[in-house]
Structure 1
Amino acid sequence: MPRILAIDYGIKRVGIATTDPLQIIATPLTTIPNHELLPYLQKYLQQEEVEAVVVGMPTKADGSDTHSTPHIRGFVRSLQKLYPDLAVHTQDEKGSSQEALEAMISGGTSKKYRRQKENLDKISAVIILQRYLESRPTTPPNTTTS
């Protein structure tokens, strides 16, 4: 079964997470500078079978756009154009950075580790991916229910 990739897209850095081949567990993959994202994805997609990409979509508490929402929408359009056969989904990322920080604290990570922004970005990508996995229908594709 192909993997699902999640992207926490930032103007400077991008956190990336992936599922295992059974699409059960979301794990952090890497954090890279924004300008390296498309070459990284090209190489990754050549090496791994990927079913879909989930991009975190930021909104304010009232549902309106943040300052980075237009950049992310542009990235999603670029991704769809470059990879027309790849499903691209967006997932609400509201609160994912705070949730990532809390997860790192409860997981016992050191303050030094938590201060490194790239760690927060890839854990945020895991949270975005986990939210997407939890929001999918429980019936696997190509099966019927009685």
Structure 2
Amino acid sequence: MSKILGIDYGKKMTGLSITDSKKKFAFGLDVVHTNKLMNFLKSFKIENSIEKIVIGLPKNLNNEEFSIEKYIKKFIFKFRLQYPRIRIDRLDERFTSKIAFHAMIESGIKKKKRRKKEILHKISAIIILQSYLKKN
């Protein structure tokens, strides 16, 4: 049964999350170096297991896009060339990093570990995907 993949795209690291087979819950999948993201997706056999991906849309409070959006658009272009059958949806990701950071504090993650961006990207990817599932 196919699933939905959530992506919190970053310049250096990208957080990934995935749904259960019923598409009710989002779970952390992995954090990969962004320059190795396409290779990861290929080895993950995305064509066989993913029907859709949800990528965060970074905007500020003035509804303007952050500079990272140009890199995300390049990734989406490459992705669509390689996987034209997989649908791509975007979700406004305002405040996901702050929510993820507070989630780390509330879950008792030590201060030293909270500094690692990998954890923040993974939790943000979960929040993006779970928000998408709740919305739809």
Pick the TM interval, shorter chain.
over 0.9
- 1:47: Cα distance to partner? 8.2
- 1:3: Cα distance to partner? 1.0
- Name the amino acid aligned to 1:37: L
The 5 A counterparts of 1:23-42 are 23-42=23-42
- 1:74: Cα distance to partner? 1.6
Query: Partners of 1:109 and 1:23 in 2: how far apart?
Result: 28
- 1:93: Cα distance to partner? 0.8
Query: Does residue 1:62 correspond to 2:62, yes or no?
Result: yes
Indicate the RMSD between aligned Cα atoms, in angstroms: 1.4
Matching residue of 1:142 = none
Larger Rg: 1
SS at structure 2 position matched to 1:67: coil
- Listed as ranges, the gaps of 5+ residues in structure 1 are 137-146
Query: Does residue 1:45 correspond to 2:45, yes or no?
Result: yes
Query: Partners of 2:58 and 2:47 in 1: how far apart?
Result: 29
TM-score, length-scaled by structure 1: 0.88
Q: Deviations over 1:9-53 (max 9, x none)?
A: 111110101111111111111111111100000111358511111
SS at structure 2 position matched to 1:6: strand
Aligned length: 136
The 5 A counterparts of 1:124-139 are 124-136=124-136
TM-score, length-scaled by structure 2: 0.94
Identity of aligned residues (%): 35
Query: Contact 1:79–1:88 at 8 Å: present in 2 too?
Result: no
- Listed as ranges, the gaps of 5+ residues in structure 2 are none
Query: Contact 1:13–1:34 at 8 Å: present in 2 too?
Result: yes
Greater than 3 Å deviation, 4+ residue runs: none
Matching residue of 2:22 = 22
- 1:4: Cα distance to partner? 0.6
Query: Partners of 2:46 and 2:99 in 1: how far apart?
Result: 32
- In structure 2, relative to structure 1, the CA distance for the partners of 1:46 and 1:16 (3 Å cut) is closer
